[in-house]
Chains A and B, each alone.
Chain A
């Protein structure tokens, strides 16, 4: 069977980052040998061309901090020449007026800047780095150069109560999109779950605030808000379905079906240094493993709601974490025999202390 065409390439250019956000979606072993050897410029440029030929339209230049790549201008020009719509997903601390101008000239289409909190001190505490003022300046440069601007804020217990301020700041910065990304529990968010898991009441208040904002501001600012998985009882189509719409290219050239797929034991990832992207997408084991519906177990196999091709069984990494089996039904689903574990996770032992993201080796290996 012919696999579907991908529309998005998530290019993780480098795992280096000046920030230390405790919910970073990068793997916990970013400091290890696996990622030391980053791709060369020409590898990326070839991957962009091959991605377009496969049907990819959207390119997310992300990381880590993608602005740490010295060849970023060249990569943006390559994306433009390949015919991709490019988005820079940055923390903003390196997005100076000068670099913004160069990126504009190179053909970058869209800029997304993260904030950790609308409060300067709180932002810097969560990011583990003094960065708020630079982010605000970066948003200003993006607007001056007529980049469409998205503000992204990862939400959790320690910033959800500032939702009104986040919305107001977005408006003030002239952004046309706001991505309110409720924390997903993979990568660095796993060891920080007790510090990040919000309460129902916080989520309800935030949802109300978003609703009021949408009514007040209208289509001028597109606010993306979805309830976090752990507070749902039906799963979402993680990544739009495994191997269905998106692929992730890690800094070392490994191609993954999602950012967290490296946590799944037994999956082997083909590398763009050795294989063309269309072979990786269509033929490689990692993409074929959970594509479509044939791999599903019960209760997905005979889903009483017939949602096999709606949610594609949910998130494989979550199934692994909570049910101990990456091929199980996502325990977010109320029909999963492990759904009680999701319910229990809503009430963690709470702490305010973070385990910050770091690329240093742990003290005890």
Chain B
């Protein structure tokens, strides 16, 4: 995975009714915790996984989030929800 992006048609949104982060996909909904939502927001097809890790790390006082980020992106890729913009 070089430059991850959300699959065509997937849309992040915060649901004010349920007060939670969601990924809306064709005829489906994936519930997200706030951290996952933050990672996916950075999956814009421009940033590399390293860029995403760095951006998050800067927000959270230099915490090492590499494993968490990689794990989430891999899990989403396996479901076909995140794809590689470089592919």
A147 touches B9 (CB 8 A): yes
Enumerate chain B residues within 8 angstroms of A87, measured Cβ to Cβ.
26-27
Nearest CB in chain B: distance from A179 CB, A? 8
- CB-nearest residue of chain A to B7: A176
Enumerate chain A residues within 8 angstroms of B79, measured Cβ to Cβ.
219
Which of A146, A177, A219 makes the CB contact (< 8 A) with B26?
A: A177
Which of B10, B17, B27, B80 makes the CB contact (< 8 A) with A220?
A: B80
- Bound together, the chains give a CA A198 to CA B45 distance in angstroms of 45
- CB-nearest residue of chain A to B80: A219
Enumerate chain B residues within 8 angstroms of A52, measured Cβ to Cβ.
17
Encode B23-64 as 1/0 by CB contact (under 8 A) with A. 011111100000000000000000000000000000000000
Encode A56-90 as 1/0 by CB contact (under 8 A) with B. 01101000000000000000000000010101000
Which of A57, A60, A148 makes the CB contact (< 8 A) with B22?
A: A57
A53 touches B9 (CB 8 A): no
Interface status of A40 (Cβ within 8 A of chain B): no
With A219-B78, A222-B80 as known contacts, state yes or no: A83 contacts B8, CB within 8 Å.
no
- CB-nearest residue of chain A to B15: A57
- Bound together, the chains give a CA A299 to CA B86 distance in angstroms of 56
Nearest CB in chain B: distance from A100 CB, A? 15
Nearest CB in chain B: distance from A281 CB, A? 13
- Bound together, the chains give a CA A175 to CA B23 distance in angstroms of 20
Interface status of B66 (Cβ within 8 A of chain A): no
Encode A167-205 as 1/0 by CB contact (under 8 A) with B. 000000000110000000000000000000000000000
Chain A residues with a Cβ under 8 A of chain B: 5, 7, 52-55, 57-58, 60, 83, 85, 87, 109-110, 112, 146-148, 150, 176-177, 218-220, 222
Chain B residues with a Cβ under 8 A of chain A: 7-11, 13, 15, 17-18, 22, 24-29, 77-80
18 additional A-B residue pairs with CB within 8 Å, beyond A57-B15, A85-B11, A176-B7? A53-B17, A54-B17, A57-B22, A57-B29, A58-B24, A58-B27, A58-B28, A87-B26, A87-B27, A109-B9, A110-B9, A110-B26, A146-B8, A148-B9, A148-B26, A176-B8, A176-B9, A176-B26
